[in-house]
């Protein structure tokens, strides 16, 4: 039986990526205390064998989940300068990003699904598509999501949201850029696919990075709605008339080839990535699941940082070393200093509990990505 990073038992039919590549251990997971599914694109192999630089491009779940130490690390170690939030206004009001603690960072709200599109509050005339979505949400969640996924990119709100996101990432010349939705799966996943496409990352590596969310997103935040290969393929099929992801970038989002080339030059290099650094979790972190990692270390029980109303301790398997390398993030040097990583904290905030309890199960797949 497969388990995710947090020790949650995964559904039997969940899609999982292969073991992470050596140049990007743990699919770039960063060892934050509470931030879910926060991963560095650094180490991914792009066009012409170039490697994406570490510490510049981060994908994540909502920053509102982060501990004080997590937010301080983003501010100080990662010099966070851009935060892009794909959620809608209701989600922002429930669990806002703590931007007051990252004063140097620009905040961009790049909404992908408006409140009207997901039928949360406003009264409006429903389309045939919306009626079909509602029916599928009640009966067949897989078909519901397969139908919904392409509309993240081809509906007007999604086009404007992803256009502003891609432009902001291209223009972010200093520090790091981070983008997120709720748990870093759907809206964040497609945004990551666009950035990775600009960098020339292969289709298989983009898909595997998307599926890695199933390893690093706690079940209580995803509510058993995992990332799926069929959702990704539904997007590919919808974008095929536009020239797939790259054609969507240049033809729909109006990103020029010159801008993409300049972005690649700035954010990647021809040198192999340095593995032993703070911004990459070495495989001494909790092992992901038993079948793919037979050389397990000791078994320990770690309280979930999201326990709260869920209140369960999670069984987590750790490799023999109880400590992970820790070093200040250095974007210009391959050196690293030693240290230790913090353990997962024992309690969750009332804010997390309140936000989680307010989620409508029927709408989770739409605006809880």
Query: In terms of residue numbers, what domain contains 125?
Result: 25-278+352-367
The one-digit pLDDT tens for each residue of the chain (369 residues) are 688 887 888 877 889 999 999 999 999 999 999 998 999 999 999 999 999 999 999 999 999 999 999 999 999 999 999 999 999 999 999 999 999 999 999 999 999 987 654 443 334 455 555 555 565 556 667 888 888 899 999 999 999 999 999 999 999 999 999 999 999 999 999 999 999 999 999 999 999 999 999 999 887 777 567 899 999 999 999 999 999 999 999 999 999 999 999 999 999 998 765 554 444 443 333 333 323 322 222 223 334 444 332 222 222 222 333 333 333 344 443 333 333 333 333 333 333 333 333 333 333 333 334
Q: Which residues lie across from 214 on neighbouring strands?
A: none
In this structure, is residue 333 part of a structural domain?
no
Q: Which two tokens stand for residue 186?
A: 């759907």
Q: What per-residue confidence (pLDDT) applies to 5? A: 84
Domain at 79, CATH number: 3.90.190.10
- Residue 135 has what pLDDT? 55
Q: Global pTM?
A: 0.73
For residue 342, is it within any domain? no
Residue 148 domain-assigned? yes
Domain-embedded: residue 151? yes
Look at the alpha carbons of 350, 356, 359, 361 in this order and tell me if their dihedral is positive or negative: negative
Q: Which residues of 173-185 are buried (b: 16+ CB within 10 A; e: fewer)?
A: eebbbbbbbbbbb
- Total domains in the chain come to 1
Q: Which tokens is 307 given?
A: 């326990």
Q: What is the 3-state secondary structure (H, E, C) of 27-38?
A: HHECCCCCCCCC
65 near 36, Cβ under 8 Å? yes
Please, how many CA atoms are within 13 Å of residue 120, restricted to the half-sphere of its CB? 21
Mention every residue, 6+ apart, whose C-beta is less than 8 A from residue 198. Answer: 166, 170, 249, 255, 260, 263, 264
Place of tokens 């989600």: 91
């Amino acid at each position: 039986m497969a388990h995710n990073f947090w020790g949650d038992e995964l559904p039997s039919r969940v899609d999982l990526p292969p073991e992470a590549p050596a140049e990007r251990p743990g699919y770039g997971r960063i060892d934050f205390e509470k931030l879910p599914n926060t991963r560095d694109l650094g180490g991914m192999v792009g066009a012409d064998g170039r490697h994406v630089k570490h510490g510049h491009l981060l994908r994540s779940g909502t920053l509102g989940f982060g501990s004080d130490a997590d937010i301080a690390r983003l501010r100080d170690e990662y010099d966070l300068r851009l935060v892009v939030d794909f959620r809608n206004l209701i989600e922002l009001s429930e669990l806002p990003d703590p931007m007051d603690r990252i004063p140097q960072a620009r905040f961009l709200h790049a909404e992908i699904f408006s409140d009207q599109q997901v039928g949360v509050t406003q009264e409006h005339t429903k389309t045939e598509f919306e009626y079909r979505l509602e029916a599928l949400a009640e009966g067949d969640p897989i078909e519901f999501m397969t139908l919904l996924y392409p509309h993240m990119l081809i509906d007007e709100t999604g086009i404007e949201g992803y256009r502003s996101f891609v432009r902001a990432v291209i223009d972010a010349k200093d520090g790091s850029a981070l983008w997120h939705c709720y748990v870093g799966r759907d809206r964040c996943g497609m945004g990551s696919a666009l950035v990775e496409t600009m960098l020339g990352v292969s289709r298989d590596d983009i898909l595997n990075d998307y599926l890695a969310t199933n390893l690093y997103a706690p079940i209580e935040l995803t509510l058993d709605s995992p990332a799926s290969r069929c959702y990704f393929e539904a997007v590919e099929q919808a974008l095929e008339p536009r020239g797939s992801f790259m054609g969507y970038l240049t033809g729909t989002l109006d990103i020029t080839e010159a801008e993409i080339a300049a972005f690649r030059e700035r954010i990647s290099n021809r040198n192999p990535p340095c593995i032993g650094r703070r911004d990459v979790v070495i495989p001494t972190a909790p092992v992901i699941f038993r079948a793919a990692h037979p050389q397990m270390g000791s078994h320990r029980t770690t309280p979930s940082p999201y326990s709260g109303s869920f209140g369960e301790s999670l069984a987590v398997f750790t490799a023999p070393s109880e400590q992970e390398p820790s070093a200040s993030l250095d974007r210009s040097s391959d050196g690293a200093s030693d240290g230790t990583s913090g353990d997962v904290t024992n309690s969750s905030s009332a804010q997390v509990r309140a936000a989680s309890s307010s989620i409508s199960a029927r709408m989770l797949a739409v605006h809880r990505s």
